Amino acid sequence: MTAKKHEAYKILEDYRKIIWPLIDRALDDPLFPEKFRIPKKYQNYTNIHSHAVREYPRRKGKYLRPALLMLTAEAMGASRKKILPTATAMQLSEDFLLVHDDIMDGSTKRRGKKALHRIYGVNVSINAGDHLQSAIWQLLSKNYKLLGREKSEAIYEEMYKILVRTYMGQSVEAIWTENNRKTISDEDYFFIVDGKTSYYTIAGPMRLGAIIAGASEDELQAITEFGVYLGRCFQLVDDILDLTGDFGGKKEMANDIYEGKRTLILGHLARNLNKSDFEKLGVILGKKREQKTKKEIKWILNMMNKHGSIDYARSAARHLKDKSNRLFEARLGFLKKEPQRSSIKLLIDFILNRDH
């Protein structure tokens, strides 16, 4: 591991240590009105629900989104106390989305262990995801005392927009997968990515941090533009790694092909196949995850390498990386407080050069 990568992990770990106790506390059962408290004879059942709710949060992800949120706010001079409820809500939103995403994709693993619905079943897992979403809004309600009404409502509105744009992107992706759409353009791919990665993973968290710090509209717009290019690059790196590694043993290799994800790599391949191979690709993609064989997945991977589809994505990622770095230096000078600015730059480097 390089020194820069080690330092980036250290930054994420430091913010995880700050936020995790707040997540743990946010998932405690509320004190219900007396008539609605859980009788002892039913607690074994409600405990199953509570375990399901806590399963993904306890596995802990990288905490990239809350780290970017907090670093942005702190780089603009906001006090940590005023940032924490929103950063905690941002991390819980990832756990909530992953529960539902894994069900839709039929995923087998999440963060190195069985996907939630493979442990508790689909119905309990959906309820656990809904519970996690409810905790987001409960956390954001704490902002009224910390930040006042105007900023609190702006944060509510921004979080709402982030999540709705993510839902829309995921729905369109699901429609294309279910309809076995065989060709997608780069523009189609980036439409999906701009919601579920550019906005949700980069621009949204940073905008939330900037709103807390009192950013101007011009500053928010600069963050948005930066987030588009960095987020696109982030997703391309993710897609490439899916086909070339196993994310440190935490995911199946070629998981996107098993799930039928319409990626820029797959779109490039489809455009460059002859008629016979194009039809074969369509047949494989039209199968459910469990029906696809390792031989079929290997064939698609071989075709991607033969036609330069992975290299095509690498080239696009390099272009977006350069654009992101230029935008950060040219337009995000207002993120000036140290060491936060340097930490953001380290995380940008980590995002673009990670190996899982």
For the beta carbon of residue 312, count every other beta carbon within 10 angstroms: 19
DSSP secondary structure letter of residue 36: G
Assign 253 a pLDDT band (cuts: 50, 70, 90).
confident
Distances (CA, A) of 127 to 47, 97, 149: 13, 12, 31
Tens-place pLDDT, residues 64-81: 999 999 999 999 999 999
Q: Report whether 151 contacts 211 (CB < 8 A).
A: yes
What single letter denotes the amino acid at residue 229? Y
pLDDT band at 45 (very low <50, low <70, confident <90, very high): very high
Instruction: Please classify residue 177 by burial: count the beta carbons closer than 10 Å to its beta carbon, then call 0-12 exposed, 13-18 middle and 19+ buried.
Output: middle
Bigger pLDDT: 246 vs 93: 93
pLDDT at 24 over 80: yes
Cβ–Cβ < 8 Å for 197, 60: no
State the pLDDT confidence band at 251, using cuts at 50, 70 and 90: low
The whole-number pLDDT of residue 248 equals 55
DSSP structural state of residue 273: S
- Nearest residue to 250 via CA among 109, 352, 55: 109
- Position 353 pLDDT exceeds 90: no
| CA geometry: angle 212, 213, 218, nearest 5 deg | 105
CB atoms within 10 A of CB 217: 7
Average pLDDT over residues 329-345: 97
Residue 351 has pLDDT above 90, yes or no: no
3-state secondary structure 86-123: HHHHHHHHHHHHHHHHHHHHCCCEECCEECHHHHHCHH
* Residue at token pair 């791919």: 189
HSE of 50, CA atoms in CB hemisphere, 13 A: 14
Count of domains for the chain: 1
Mapping DSSP to helix (H, G, I), strand (E, B) and coil, where does residue 331 land? helix
What CATH number does residue 32 fall under? 1.10.600.10
Angle between helices 122-140 and 3-26 (to 10 degrees): 90
* Alpha-carbon span 201 to 126, nearest angstrom: 22
Which residues span the domain enclosing 22? Answer: 3-353
